[in-house]
Structure formats: structure tokens, C-alpha cells
Chains A and B, each alone.
Chain A
Amino acid sequence: GAVVSQHPSRVICKSGTSVKIECRSLDFQATTMFWYRQFPKQSLMLMATSNEGSKATYEQGVEKDKFLINHASLTLSTLTVTSAHPEDSSFYICSARDPGQGLQPQHFGDGTRLSIL
């Protein structure tokens, strides 16, 4: 079964709205979670690394004030797209890794398709 849950799976909203996406690790504690963005027919681009109890680490070119990340607990990270505009429409996907599992790869959520009208 899924070990990382991402919600919602689909969002359609008006321009100017802020949208929050949740990423939960279901059966392990994730001190680090990752947020990716994927444009159609392209690869996953890392946006930021979410660190529990501290500030997120953003990749170059990602606007911190546009994409707010909060990792308030060991099982939950949220990505808020503030004042969303049509160019923010994309597929957003989170992942988490169980730190106690060595080679254990990242587990991915099922993604959120965001459409801004």
C-alpha cells in the first residue's frame, strides 16, 4: 500500500487563489521530504527540500515567497502555492524517504494536478 499520501489529487481554481497541497508519510517518520514539479512530457524538477523543524531549502530559480513550504511534523509537509496564476499550473509531486532504511529509495505521493484558470 501507499506509504506517502498526497492530497488533493486534483485542484482547479481561479487565478489569485492560494492552494495548499499536503504530503504525509504514513508509516514512517520523515525528517526530510521533497517537492517536485513536472511539466507535461518532462522530467521531475526538484523545487525544494522540506526539513522538519527548520526552513526549507529551495532550488535555484524557485521563488520562496510563491511556494511556501511548511514541515511542522515528522509526517507532514505542506506546499502552498500563493496567489496562483495560470503559469503555476503543473503537476506537483512529493516524496519522502525513511531515514532508517539505508538504501530505501524515496517513496512518492500520487501527485497533484493543479490547474489555474
Chain B
Amino acid sequence: AQTVTQSQPEMSVQEAETVTLSCTYDTSESDYYLFWYKQPPSRQMILVIRQEAYKQQNATENRFSVNFQKAAKSFSLKISDSQLGDAAMYFCAYRFGNEKLTFGTGTRLTIIP
């Protein structure tokens, strides 16, 4: 079974600084999808960034980028120029084909003004 591990229950970063959230996963598949979702206090699930495993190029969305290391099964999220609105729970997720999403346990990110 696929598992997703987020080893940092909580992280904090100074406003305008950069922070990296860690995620590792376990799978025997070679082609799959990886996602980072943000869940603010409203509890709405917001897609931050996505990555296809067959693509070597790391995905980037404005201030958000990933470091995808397929061999190491690692998928970390880097947030640059952190803003107060970035404060939220961040969940790493894995999906194989059309199957269900498997979520990590989450990292609570606090932004220090």
C-alpha cells in the first residue's frame, strides 16, 4: 500500500523568508501524481502545486516550487517570500492513476510577522 509521510508536524518561518516542507512516500509504481494541498482555518482544501512522476522538471507555481527526487521518493515544497496568508495546514498527497488520493499527516505552518 502507498504511504505518505510528513515528518514535520509544525513549522514556522519569518515573513518574507523561505521555508521547505518535507514529504516522502512509498510506492512500487513508476508513474503517479503528487500534490501539495493547503488547508487554512476555513478547512477548504486548496491545491498548491502538482507534479507528474514521469516529468523530471520540478513544478513551480509563483512562490511555490517543489524538489521532486523520484529515486529517493521525496517531494518537498518550498515556499519563497512567505506571506501571512500562507499560514495553514499543508498536506502532501499521492495518487496512482484514477485511484484515490493518499494524504500525509500534514504540517502546520506558522508565519511570524
Interface residue ranges, A against B (CB under 8 Å)? 32, 34, 38, 41-44, 46, 49, 91, 93, 95, 97, 99, 103, 105-106, 108, 110-111, 113
Contacts and interface: CB of A to CB of B under 8 A. Distances in A.
B100 A44 contact: no
B45 interface: yes
14 contacts: A34-B101, A38-B43, A42-B105, A43-B91, A43-B105, A44-B101, A46-B102, A95-B101, A97-B98, A103-B50, A105-B47, A105-B50, A110-B44, A111-B43
B44 A108 contact: yes
Given A34-B101, A97-B98, A105 B106 contact: no
Nearest to B104: A43
A43 B108 CA distance: 11
Nearest to A45: B103
Interface residues of B, number: 20
Interface of B: 33, 35, 42-45, 47, 50, 52, 91, 95, 98, 100-106, 108
A24 to B, nearest CB: 16
Q: Closest 9 CB pairs between A and B?
A: A108-B45, A43-B103, A43-B105, A44-B103, A43-B106, A111-B43, A105-B47, A110-B44, A46-B100
B44 A111 contact: yes
B103 A103 contact: no
A105 B33 contact: yes
B55 to A, nearest CB: 10
A110 B40 CA distance: 11
B91 A105 contact: no
Contacts of A93: 43, 45
Given A91-B43, A111-B43, 17 more contacts: A38-B43, A41-B108, A42-B105, A43-B103, A43-B104, A43-B106, A93-B43, A93-B45, A95-B101, A103-B52, A105-B33, A105-B50, A105-B95, A108-B44, A108-B45, A110-B43, A110-B44
Contacts of B91: 43-44
